Amino acid sequence: MPAKYTGGCEHVHTQSDHEPVDNHMCYCSVCKRVTGQASTHVVFFKHSDLKVDNISALKRQPFNNQNPNGPLELCTCTTCGKPIMLDDKQRRIRAIVPNLMGFAPEKLPATYHAFFDRAAGAPAPSDGRPVYEGLRPDFVWPAPA
């Protein structure tokens, strides 16, 4: 029976039968720089809830090149180069960007807007979802796996 959520590429598969712990549209400068998108749909799973079938086929690099010792690593397939996930070195989360990492975005709709900077001059999102200057106020980082 297939997993509820699946992604990855032809060489590395990721999957989860668990619900994500967070799901938002991100407007942070790092996501903008890495993806080239004005906003990025980001989904956090508890680290142990997102399984990877061929982890040895991942190339790891800092997610934020301006903070190379930060907690997140961008994992890409060593064969095709496709981005697979963000892996937290502290083992709290694994994050995916559905439209870039092989997941069906419609199965994981964002519930709010995060890191929106009203001072930047862009119009505020008007889709009815809450807009925050950071992660949603009730978000709690999962305990390390």
For 67-113, what is each residue's pLDDT tens digit? 999 999 999 999 999 999 999 999 999 999 999 999 999 999 999 99
d(CA 32, CA 30): 5
**Predicted local distance difference test score (pLDDT) of residue 145:** 86
The SS3 of residue 106 is helix
**Mean pLDDT over each residue of the chain, to the nearest integer:** 96
Tokens at residue 97, please? 């960007």
Tokens at residue 65, please? 């090149």
For 38-63, what is each residue's pLDDT tens digit? 999 999 999 999 999 999 999 999 99
Residue 97 identity (one-letter amino acid)? V
The CATH architecture that domain 5-120 belongs to is Beta Complex (2.170)
Residue 122 has pLDDT above 90, yes or no: no
**Predicted local distance difference test score (pLDDT) of residue 112:** 98
55: nearest Cα among 36, 72, 75, 41: 75
